[in-house]
Amino acid sequence: MSDKKWYVIRAVSGQEAKIKDYIMGEITRMGYEKLVEDILVPTEKVVQIRNGKKISKERTYFPGYIMIKANLSGEIPHIIKSVTNVIGFLGETKGGDPVPLRPSEVNRMLGKVDELALATEHVAIPYTVGENIKVIDGPFNGFTGAIEKVNEEKRKLEVMVKIFGRKTPLELSYMQVEKL
């Protein structure tokens, strides 16, 4: 049984990766790396569509939180807390010790991390119902219309297009249209 437990460090949002690297650096510099098993910043891949191109970005899943598996004895909590942009540990009382996560919480968070790693890229839908778009691909290239429905599961849009003066519904993928 390891004497290392999972804790959550509260940090300034948006700086998680930098802070994580800095904490590792400090712990290594002080010679405590045997006491720290893992430091994680849970992230998820988010795909956005910009100008018709897929852009994959990593987004922090729990902004402002860094998970650390360590034996927080001796100097370690002080080293971590002295790092710039670290606010403290989650669940600690003033002057008290950091509170470790319960195994169920750890499994839930780590399960989420694994699930996010395995999850297929999730495209953030940049379109809303009622928005006017232009078809940029397929047989109706060049036509314009209004979005009637957004189908997230099938990743399709139902668009009303005027063809020969008549409104005609089309089912198009996100990649086949662009905002007007």
H-helix or E-strand spanning residue 23: helix 16-29
CATH 3.30.70.360 fits 132-179, yes or no: no
Q: Which of 40-44, 58-62, 112-116 has the lowest average pLDDT?
A: 112-116
- What span, in angstroms and rounded, lies between the C-alpha atoms of 145 and 135? 8
Tokens of 128: 């809303």
- Spatial strand order of the sheet with 122-123 comes to 53-60, 43-50, 122-123
Q: How far apart are CA 20 and CA 84, in angstroms?
A: 11
Which pLDDT belongs to residue 1? Answer: 47
Q: What percent of the chain lies above the pLDDT cut of 70? A: 91
Listed in sequence order, the residues at least 6 apart from 15 whose beta carbon sits closer than 8 Å to its beta carbon are 85
As a whole number of angstroms, the distance between CA 129 and CA 51 comes to 19
DSSP for 95-142, written as a single string: TSPPPPPPHHHHHHHHHHHHHHHHSPPEEPP---TT-EEEE-SSTTTT
pLDDT in tens, 59-110: 888 899 999 999 998 889 999 999 999 999 988 777 677 889 888 888 887 7
**Segment 151-163, tens digit of pLDDT:** 877 778 999 998 8
Break the chain into its structural domains and give their ranges: 5-123, 132-179
Using CA atoms, how far apart are residues 150 and 159, in angstroms rounded to an integer?
9
Is this prediction's pTM over 0.85? Answer: no
Q: Identify the CATH number of the domain defined by range 5-123.
A: 3.30.70.940
Residue 121 has pLDDT above 70, yes or no: no
